[in-house]
Structure 1
Amino acid sequence: MDRSWIHEPNRLSAKFLKGLYNFILFAKASARDGRFACPCRKCVNMHRFSPGVVSSHILENGFSPGYTDWIFHRDPTSQTSDSSYSHQNDDGLREVDAQEQHGVQQFLEDMAVGSDEIENSRSTRVENDWGDSSTIDDDTQPTEAYEYAKRFHDLLEESDEELFSGCRKHSKLSFILELYNKKCMYGWSDKSFEDLLTTMRETLPEGEKLPESSYEVRKLIDALGLDYQTIDACPNDCMLFWKEHIDEPRCLHCNAYRYKEETESSSTSKRNKIRKGVKVLRWFPLIPRLQRLFMCKKTASLMRWHLDERRDDGYLRHPADARAWKDFDSRYADFAKEPRNVRLGLATDGFNPFRSLSSTHSSWPVVVTAYNLPPWLCMKQSSLFLCLLIPGPKSPGANIDIYLEPFIEELIHLWEKGVDTYDAHAKTTFKLHASLLWTINDFPAYSMLSGWRTKKGYGCPCCGFNTWSKWLKHEEFRGPPVRMTGSCIRDLWDSNGSTRDLNGTNINITEGCKKKSIFFRLPYWEYNRVRHNLDVMHIEKNVCDNILDTLLSVRGKTKDNVKARFDMQEMGIRHTLHPFELSTGKYRAAPALFEMSSTEKKQMLRVLKHVKVPDGYSSNISRCVDVKHKKISGLKSHDCHVLLHDLLPVAVRGCLKDRVARALIDLSAYFRELSSKVLKVSRLEEMEVEIGEILARMEMIFPPSFFTIMVHLVVHLVEEAKWNGPVQYRWMYPIERYLMTLKAHVGNKAYPEASIAQWYIANEAITFCSRYFEGVRTRFNKPARNSDDMDLLRTEDSPVNTTSGHPIGKVENIILNPTSWVQAHRYVLYNSKEVLPYIEEHKDEIKRKLSSRNRRNNASRLIEIEKVHHSTFVDWFKGRVARLEEMHDPRFTAELKGLARGPNYGVRQFKGYITKGVRYHANCREEERKTQNSGVVVATKTSSLEGEILNYGRIVDMIELNYFERFRVALFKCEWVDVERGRGLKKDAYGYTMVNFSRLIHTGSNIRDEPFVFADQVRPVFYIKDSQEPDWYVALRTKPRDTYELGDELVYQSKNADQSLSVENVGRASEDENWVRNDLHPVVFEYVDPGVAATTSVMSEDEA
């Protein structure tokens, strides 16, 4: 074993710490009662201590330089090593069998290997400006670095200390870590956790070593984690008090005092009192957190997923497939050579930590994600890093750059210098670099981060100074605006120059930009094509609200009000919609083409009120629908997402004029395709043209006031998808969920940011530790709600190829009637590979018998063969296998005999089943529920129709066949609509699939009927009752949550493949265009004041 580390002058170096850790592991072999001789310079092997004390002594006093033979610690070079000592690998690290070492020991070992890199990041002070650490001699040690190293090595003692005398399964440390993991995973409060500790101390044998309080547990957990730094900020957001300004008492810009409730005179008289800043930024350094991703073997290997396992076939499934990633690689080839270099995305948004609408407090976390990880990890909460916590009570606004300075300096350091990082998977050290690809934010935060003014005439940050904010009478005869590049913005700021808009007017840069973003300090930022992402989540919310408020004429929110009509009058357009003043002082106007009557509004709302969606598909949207008052309120962002994608297009069919309905349905199809998890570049290019045409059609329907900046931004979403990849990696949904988690852990409402920071540090540590737990349920292996990992049906020798699944709810034992028994058993036989040759043999035998009896045409013979085959195959097959057994035919197998015998008539019946991540219910279970999980669709091939057809149905029963304990099979009994003759299936005018359950293909009562399918063969679908034809339902297919299409099954942009864009040709607008609904009464507006919302009512026939 290498002993050169004992002469290392820097006792916090990687070499010394790794050598010390290996020595402690080695010396444990000589321990008696958990103690062994201490070889520090003071003790010189004269005293025995626990491993933690020995490591502390060696760190403080140094290793005795003359003690190199280690005779007091059973050196294997001087005597035969004990069998309990494990061999060393080439790096001097101890290798242990998995059965010998608990996951916590492996965790400590990995931390020891990477401790130098983490320690460098931790001990580097903010004011050093990323300077190199000085060499540490025997007499001088920085307090912060020493305390960290001491805390780490104290954990060795905790990891060896028994929980109680005789406990072999857990040490004190491993037990506390697993218990705290459960606290974090299940959301236990600190009080409940302390009560549990009290109960355990009373239950466990005397001498237990459990902590007294949750505070002591938190101190132990914090020793495993990474720390954060606090930096005072100016109360007016002018500057940070750090680096060379760390000791300044006042702001250098506004002269504001940095501390709370103190004057300068009182601060001098109370020098020993700790002064608290008015605003305190909490900075969680990113570098050590990125290094930790490579300290664990599991995550270190996944950081190369984008290179090693990603399929590169032209489809966009991950940011690495997109053009921005590839362009960055081609521009910076040296960065791209190392696949472990990290690509980052930054997200920020404000939230109220108090869960009270009466409070206006706004905290602003800055969150970072690493895009090297695979799709199922990179946007999960366990993979998000909280880098900054900007204090409230107000939004930092454009001054957010002040708070971003520490983070930007880290990024610059990571780009220009990099950091030495240990890769636990490759067992090598490499220079880690990182780059920021883009930011994720809503539109107000877009303005804060980019510096672009989003509320004025040049409000579109994508069009920039090419924004055309004037409504044109007819069409816009110009090409699409060119997106402003980062280099263009940088050059304009550097020269304080001007540019020209589309009218040729000179414009100063400050008219469009309020600041030069701090991100331009990054050397590569100006070359990133899409630097700030438009948030699809909030755009969908705004567009959906616009549509619903206008269609339902919601007072104060509709875009078709008297002011909108006066705007059209001032523009001289749509003369038939101009308002006319009545003698009463009110205004009369013709109803617009998109107006609905009261009956039509109620008809549309009833569809939404009575819709039932699958479990986990969305919230209960019907709670937001008020049919009586004809309004929808309280919609959340995801509610609008579901409405805009699927439900609203179904609801408006038959309620709006065809021209209006088609435009809205096509807009929904556009958003649905855009939100697909797999995109195709050629299809995106087509959508870029289609969305322009869709918006043009909508401009010929809705008033100009409808087209706010959020509606305009829709046209830019396809371009960003082409450059940056699927929207799932760039929208705010995962970030908003993470903010909700942070909000839930505000324990002390007097210090909300401090509460969040303390929780994050502990949660971060336990998240990292939980990757090492074996046989323990953690957030990484916790089954999903609809997990099908519980495989209760399959057996090793099952001749039927079915996947895993398990029943839910009450299970009953019933006796199957003979008809159902034959139907179910026959379906199993038809889908067994071993039976296929006998199916053909049976049909050939029937053909020979029928051909000798009659001379019917070929089609009639085929139908007759199928009927006879269905009715007789089960008995024929049983006899055929019996003859094979009698003749000792080599084709005879035990599996064939089991299949021929058939299942037991006694079956298990259940009302719920989970398979492939989908929850299914029998139809009878949904009567009192708000969800619908009985709808299924199966793709089959039939003898009467060539090719594959889709069979739509709903589950009426669920059973499990038991083939006398040889194997078991789960089957769904369904009622199927008639798709063969077309009686129960049709397409409507908009491309939607419609089914009719009063027209079934069979009742299931005849022995020839085939009502059964395997549980894993079906795919989920749900049905919405049509508002025009009561017996018909619109069928919408869905996909299970948390599924990722990685190329094995190529399905792209096809959530509901039945319904796609049907963009019509858009002709040139004309003043002769019919803007009015002539079948409705005129609308009356009461125009009060420009600052007050106008009232809208429908005129009576007499007034009209």
Structure 2
Amino acid sequence: MTEILKLIKDAFENAKISNTFYEAKKIINKLGLNYTKIPACPNDCMLYWGEDEDLQECKRCKTSKWSDAKENKPAKILRYFPLKLRLQRLFMCSKTVQSMRWHASAEKKDSKMRHPRDSEAWKTFDLLHDRFAEDPRNIRLGLAADGFNPFGAMCTNYSVWPMVLIPYNRPPWECMKPTSLILSMIILGEKMPENNIDVYLQLFIKELKELKHGGKWCFLGHRRFLERGHKFRLSRAKFNRKVELRDSPAALTESEILEQLEGINVSFGKELHANKDVMHIEKNVCDNVLYTLLNETGRSKDIISKLVRILKKWNIRVPDGLSSNISRCVDLKQRKLSGLKSHDCYVLMQQLLPISIRNVLPDKLMKQNLEDQYFGHLKFYVRNKAKSEGSIAEGYVAEEALTFCSRYLERIETRFNRPPRVDDCPDGNYSTHVDSLFSQMGNSKGTFTAFEFDFKDFVRRRSKGRKPSNVKIEKRVNKDFVTWFPTQGLDQESEIPSPKELGSRSSGANNKEA
């Protein structure tokens, strides 16, 4: 990397570029584009941070903190990405600060739900926390977590658990983009943390509390601790327009504090239970439905073979990132489905499965999530398979730095103004009198010649005798056009004529029939 920096410095003589990779990393760290590594118990019991930072073994299971005590190599490491500075950068940049208020400033046209702000849960939260809802700058975050195997099919007993934050202040076309998602932490291990995931959430919760009480320091009722004759007690203009006449609260004794805390049991780790989320519930339901179909008795052979063959034959092209290729998850020999991600289950349950089993089930039975896409994106960061979590963390920080810098570049192609891979927006080179009803979708490629041909007028001229009504002409158009068009020089061995040639043929046909 140092050699690359030297090469760039030689190419751009007037630019201030660091001499070494270490100096460049120091600049990035000042911008908050970094992460911290915190040792953790290999059994997910505790984190070695704060007061427990110097402990050498777990307080619960007594497992050693080190996998190699001589080299001070921790047995397990949590990589945490601090949140405060990442949120501050969203308000520092002029290209993102407006979108952070979109949820409150954008007009709501109807009652349809297009964003979480339109949901009843959002509105109920605003009613319960009206002071929080008053300021549109207050940030509303969504938390998503899931595990994936960073080695693909090479290993099945290892997983990485990234936790991602979604800033719901931003509009729906921005908040779910990879550049808007905030990686909060990376949990490693051969197995999922399950109910012990709350151990790793301690740092995140601590930072959220600091954000909640941050900003302007305001001590409500602090004047009651002053002496009775203090001038601030009677001052209205400098405080909350009220006079403070209350005495200071009495200090609690140790026994009184213990009495208030009696019955409260707060313990991080094994004793807590995590809530089930919709994503995993849907995956479990999908698995149960598939296993029920594949293990059905009686007509099971017929049902299984048809169902598996239908899924195997599917070669449906879907938008980028909508789902994986489900046909690759089908094993025809063992008649099994494996390797389905949570979003694959959603697409399978909602869109594909009802079609595939329409003619398979008995007559009496006939009637996205961002997340997997983004986690698949993180998998591409893995370069060193011996340290997959470190590769993901360093790759994310590097991409985050590029995203941050590209927001300040003008008249240069970046990931924010680069044309999409499939650009189907109209380019304005084609225009007809029916554009207001049927707008052109797609760009023209190469040269082309536009012509207009009214087949309805052609049928009207062919009519002999009494002038037919518009209804009869419409019926003839719908009936005859399909058979007439292939006869205009489009036989099996000839090439498709040019638009100009086809236009002249149609005009000639009109004149001939007229």
When normalised by structure 2's length, the TM-score is 0.69
> In structure 1, what is the Cα distance between the partners aligned to 2:497 and 2:282?
39
Match of 1:333 in 2: 130
| Distance change in 2, residues 1:494/1:325 (3 Å) | farther
| Distance change in 2, residues 1:651/1:865 (3 Å) | closer
Q: Does 1:649 align with 2:354?
A: yes
What percent of counterpart residues are identical? 40
Match of 1:294 in 2: 91
Q: How many residues align?
A: 440
**Offset of 1:286 from its aligned partner?**
1.2
Aligned-residue Cα RMSD (Å) equals 4.8
Q: Does 1:825 align with 2:464?
A: no
| Distance change in 2, residues 1:606/1:242 (3 Å) | closer
> In structure 2, what is the Cα distance between the partners aligned to 1:232 and 1:358?
24
> In structure 1, what is the Cα distance between the partners aligned to 2:58 and 2:330?
52
Q: Does structure 1 conserve the Cα–Cα contact (< 8 Å) formed by 2:37 and 2:80?
A: yes
Q: Does 1:533 align with 2:169?
A: no
Match of 1:787 in 2: 423
| Distance change in 2, residues 1:377/1:606 (3 Å) | same
Match of 1:351 among 148, 154, 157: 148
Q: Does structure 1 conserve the Cα–Cα contact (< 8 Å) formed by 2:426 and 2:440?
A: no
Match of 2:48 in 1: 241
Match of 1:805 among 422, 426, 442: 442
Alignment of 1:34-433 (within 5 A): 204=11, 221-262=28-69, 275-311=72-108, 313-358=110-155, 360-415=157-212, 417-419=213-215
Match of 1:768 among 383, 401, 404: 404
Q: Does structure 2 conserve the Cα–Cα contact (< 8 Å) formed by 1:793 and 1:804?
A: no
Q: Does structure 2 conserve the Cα–Cα contact (< 8 Å) formed by 1:304 and 1:373?
A: yes
Alignment of 1:1002-1081 (within 5 A): none
Deviations 1:298-335 (A, max 9, x none): 21110111111141632222111111111111111111
Q: Does 1:744 align with 2:380?
A: yes
User: Counterpart of 1:363 in 2: which secondary structure?
Assistant: strand
User: Counterpart of 1:364 in 2: which secondary structure?
Assistant: strand
| Distance change in 2, residues 1:408/1:494 (3 Å) | farther
> In structure 1, what is the Cα distance between the partners aligned to 2:476 and 2:112?
48
Amino acid at match of 2:45: C
Amino acid at match of 1:262: A
| Distance change in 2, residues 1:652/1:353 (3 Å) | closer
| Distance change in 2, residues 1:798/1:251 (3 Å) | same
Unaligned runs of at least 5 residues, structure 2: 219-260, 479-494
Deviations 1:1038-1093 (A, max 9, x none): xxxxxxxxxxxxxxxxxxxxxxxxxxxxxxxxxxxxxxxxxxxxxxxxxxxxxxxx
Q: Does 1:633 align with 2:269?
A: no
Amino acid at match of 1:402: V
> In structure 1, what is the Cα distance between the partners aligned to 2:145 and 2:496?
49
| Distance change in 2, residues 1:615/1:650 (3 Å) | closer
Match of 1:758 among 386, 394, 398: 394
> In structure 2, what is the Cα distance between the partners aligned to 1:394 and 1:864?
71
> In structure 2, what is the Cα distance between the partners aligned to 1:611 and 1:291?
46
Between Structure 1 and Structure 2, the one with more strand by share is 1
**Offset of 1:826 from its aligned partner?**
2.9
Amino acid at match of 1:364: W
Q: Does structure 1 conserve the Cα–Cα contact (< 8 Å) formed by 2:31 and 2:85?
A: no
User: Counterpart of 1:386 in 2: which secondary structure?
Assistant: strand
Q: Does structure 2 conserve the Cα–Cα contact (< 8 Å) formed by 1:345 and 1:369?
A: yes
**Offset of 1:206 from its aligned partner?**
9.0
> In structure 2, what is the Cα distance between the partners aligned to 1:550 and 1:958?
55
Q: Does 1:546 align with 2:288?
A: yes
> In structure 2, what is the Cα distance between the partners aligned to 1:218 and 1:327?
44
Unaligned runs of at least 5 residues, structure 1: 1-189, 264-273, 421-429, 432-492, 498-512, 519-530, 553-557, 561-590, 663-727, 831-838, 840-844, 871-955, 963-1003, 1009-1104
Match of 2:316 in 1: 613
> In structure 1, what is the Cα distance between the partners aligned to 2:171 and 2:131?
23
User: Counterpart of 1:648 in 2: which secondary structure?
Assistant: helix
> In structure 1, what is the Cα distance between the partners aligned to 2:470 and 2:426?
43
**Offset of 1:412 from its aligned partner?**
1.8
User: Counterpart of 1:751 in 2: which secondary structure?
Assistant: helix
Match of 1:861 in 2: 469
> In structure 1, what is the Cα distance between the partners aligned to 2:308 and 2:73?
55
Q: Does structure 1 conserve the Cα–Cα contact (< 8 Å) formed by 2:305 and 2:335?
A: no
**Offset of 1:295 from its aligned partner?**
0.7
Q: Does structure 2 conserve the Cα–Cα contact (< 8 Å) formed by 1:222 and 1:761?
A: no
Amino acid at match of 2:211: L
**Offset of 1:760 from its aligned partner?**
2.3
Q: Does structure 2 conserve the Cα–Cα contact (< 8 Å) formed by 1:225 and 1:761?
A: no
> In structure 1, what is the Cα distance between the partners aligned to 2:51 and 2:156?
36
**Offset of 1:543 from its aligned partner?**
3.6
| Distance change in 2, residues 1:216/1:959 (3 Å) | farther
Q: Does structure 2 conserve the Cα–Cα contact (< 8 Å) formed by 1:222 and 1:765?
A: no
> In structure 2, what is the Cα distance between the partners aligned to 1:234 and 1:605?
44
**Offset of 1:337 from its aligned partner?**
0.5
User: Counterpart of 1:389 in 2: which secondary structure?
Assistant: strand
**Offset of 1:389 from its aligned partner?**
2.4
**Offset of 1:281 from its aligned partner?**
2.4
| Distance change in 2, residues 1:317/1:402 (3 Å) | same
| Distance change in 2, residues 1:655/1:787 (3 Å) | same
Match of 1:437 in 2: none
Alignment of 1:400-549 (within 5 A): 400-415=197-212, 417-419=213-215, 515-516=271-272, 533-535=277-279, 538-549=280-291
Deviations 1:221-247 (A, max 9, x none): 555443323333334433333223333
| Distance change in 2, residues 1:353/1:248 (3 Å) | same
